[in-house]
A and B are shown apart, each in its own frame.
Chain A
Amino acid sequence: MDKRPHILQTTELCVTATSRALVRDVSLTIAEHQVFGLIGPSGAGKSTLLRALNRLTDLVPGLKVTGDVQLHGQSIFKSGMDANALRARVGMLFQQPVVFPASIVDNVLFGARRLQSLSKSAQTELAESALQEAALWSEVKDRLKTPAAKLSVGQQQRLCLARTLATKPEVILMDEPTSALDPRSTEAIEALIKRLKSRHTIVLVTHNLRQARNVADHLAFIGVRDGVGQLLCSGSVDSVLGRTDVAEVDEYVCCQ
C-alpha cells in the first residue's frame, strides 16, 4: 500500500445521464504527488469520471453525480463548498488546447487574476514562474504580448498548462492531454508531467499504454461492463497491465 497521504478519494461514485448510467460505483484513492493514470477503452466514461473530480459535471445539464469525492477528506459535494474555488484547486487540462483570444501573458494570468488581485510585479512574477513550470518560458519570453493563437498546438497546450498552474492547483486533471499533439510535443508534455508531480498531484486519462508506462505511478482501468463504465482493477502500473484474469484489460493491452 502507498504510504503517502491520500489527497483524493472517491467512494461509490456514479455519474448518470438522463437516460442511462455512464459510470458506476468507482471507488479510488489517489495519493499525493503521484501521477494517477486512468486507462480504458473509448466511451468507458474516463473523461466523465475525471470531470466529476472537480465538479465540471455540474455544468452539463442532466448529469447526476452520486456517491462521494473527497479532497483532503472533505466532500466536494457538501453544501457550502464553492465549486468555482474547488476548480481552481483541482485544475483541468483538456484534450484540445483551448487558448483564449488574447496575448500569451493574458492567457497565463487569466484564472489567477480573477481569484486574487495581484500587483503588476506579482503578475509578471507569476506569469514567469507558471511559464517556467510549463517549460514554455524560454520559447515565449520575448513575445509575451503576441496573441496566443500564434503558438503551435504543442506550445498552446503547454500554455494551457501554465494557465492552470498559475491558479496554484493542488491537483491537475489531464484529459488525454497529448492526443492532439505531435510526438515531440507529446514528449515535452510527458517530461513535464513527471516533473510536476513533485509539487502537484496529477490524474491523467490516457489512451496510450506507452505513455501510461512512461509517466504513471499508479493505474486504474475503467472498462465497460453491462453497458456501464466501471473500475475493473487498479494498482501499480505493471500489476494492472499484467492482469490476465480481467478479460477487458487483457484485450485492451493486447490490442495496442
Chain B
Amino acid sequence: MTKTLSWIFSLLAVATMGLLLAIFIWQSVPVWKHEGWGYLLEKKWYFRQHEFGVLPMVYGTLVVSFIALVLAVPVGWGAAIFTSEYLPRRLRMAVKVLIELLAGVPGVIYGLLGILLLRDWVYDGFEKFEPLSGDTLLTAGILLAVMILPTVVTLSDDALRSIPSAQRLAARGLGLTRAESILFIVVPQARRGLGASVLLALGRAMGETTAVFLVVGRQDNNLPDNWFSLRAWLDSGQTITSKLVSSETNIAYGDAIHWGAIVGLGLILLVMTGAATLLGTAFTRKPHA
C-alpha cells in the first residue's frame, strides 16, 4: 500500500515536471522555427524587428552568478567552519536560526538595499574604470552574493556537522591541532556536501529575479567581444530573469514568435537551474570512495 502510494506520488511529481517542460518547449516552438540555433547563439534582441538571440542574457546570468559565487563561497565556507567547528552547540543553533532568517528575507528587500547602498558604492569605488552608472553586472553579482550567502553557510554547516565527532576525536587524539583536524579530516570528508552547497547556491543565484532586476541596469544586447573581460562587469546588462520579469513579457503575449522567445528564455533558465540543483543533489548522495 505504502509502496504503491509512494510510486503514485513520485510519478505525479515527475509528470508535473515533465508537463511543465513540455508546455515550455511547445510554447517556444515558434521562435525555434523562426531563429533556429541563432536563438541560442546570437547577440540580438530587437523584438520590433522580430530578431531574437538570447546570448547576452545567458552571459549576464552566468556572470552575475559567477561573481556571486566567487564572493559568497569563501565567506560562506569560512562561516560554516566557524559555526560548525568553533561555536558551542547552543550558540551555533542561535546563529543558524539567524542565518536562516536572512535566507527568508524577500528578494525585493535586498533589491531596495542594493539601490540604497550598493549602487553608489560601485559607481564611486570603480570610478577609475569610468562606469556609465552604478547599475552594473558587478552590482547585481555583489547583491546576489549577499543573498546566497545563507544558503552556502547552512548547507556547508550541515555538511561539516555530518562528519562523525569520533573522527575529530581520533584526529585530536593523534596530536593534531583543532585547525589541522578540521583541514585534514573534517573538510576533506565533507567535500561533497561543500560542493553541493555551491551548486545549490548557484541554482538560487541564477533564478533570483527581483533584486537583480533592480540593480542590473537591464540593458539589452550587451555582450563584450571577450567573454572574460572584467571591464564588462562594470557595464549594465540583462539577465534571463530581469528580462522575463520586465513589462516586455506582457507585450509579447500577443505575438507567437515574441512570446515563444520569452518562453524560450524561461526554458533555458529552467534547464540551467535544474541542472545545477540536480547536480548538487546527486553530489551529496554519492557515497564516499
Contact = CB atoms under 8 A, between A and B. Distances in A.
Contacts of B167: 98, 100
Contact of A101 (B89, B175, B177, B288): B288
Interface string A218-252: 00000000000000000000000000000000000
Contacts of A111: 171, 174-176
B172 A167 contact: no
Nearest to B90: A61
B125 interface: no
B173 A87 contact: yes
Interface stretch (A1-9, A33-41, A88-96, A125-133): A88-96
Nearest to A147: B289
Interface in A96-112: 96, 98, 100-101, 110-111
Q: Is the interface of A mostly helix, strand, loop or mixed?
A: helix
Contacts of A201: none
Contact of A61 (B88, B171, B289): B88
Interface residues of B, number: 21
A61 B176 CA distance: 18
Nearest to A89: B175
B94 interface: no
Q: Is the interface of B mostly helix, strand, loop or mixed?
A: helix
Contacts of A91: 173-175
Contacts of B289: 101, 147
B281 interface: no
B173 A54 contact: yes
B132 interface: no
B169 A56 contact: yes
Query: Which bracket fits the contact residues of A?
Result: 20 to 34
B170 interface: yes
Contact of B172 (A85, A87, A100, A163): A87
B169 A94 contact: yes
Contacts of B185: 100
A155 interface: no
A126 to B, nearest CB: 14
Interface string A142-166: 0000010000000000001001100
Given A98-B167, A101-B189, A88 B172 contact: no
B109 interface: no
A214 interface: no
B105 interface: no
Contacts of B177: 84
A101 B189 CA distance: 7
Given A56-B169, A110-B184, 12 more contacts: A56-B173, A84-B172, A84-B177, A87-B173, A87-B175, A94-B173, A98-B169, A100-B171, A114-B180, A114-B184, A163-B174, A167-B175
7 contacts: A84-B175, A84-B177, A91-B175, A92-B173, A98-B169, A110-B171, A114-B175
Interface of B: 88-89, 164, 166-167, 169-177, 180, 184-185, 188-189, 288-289
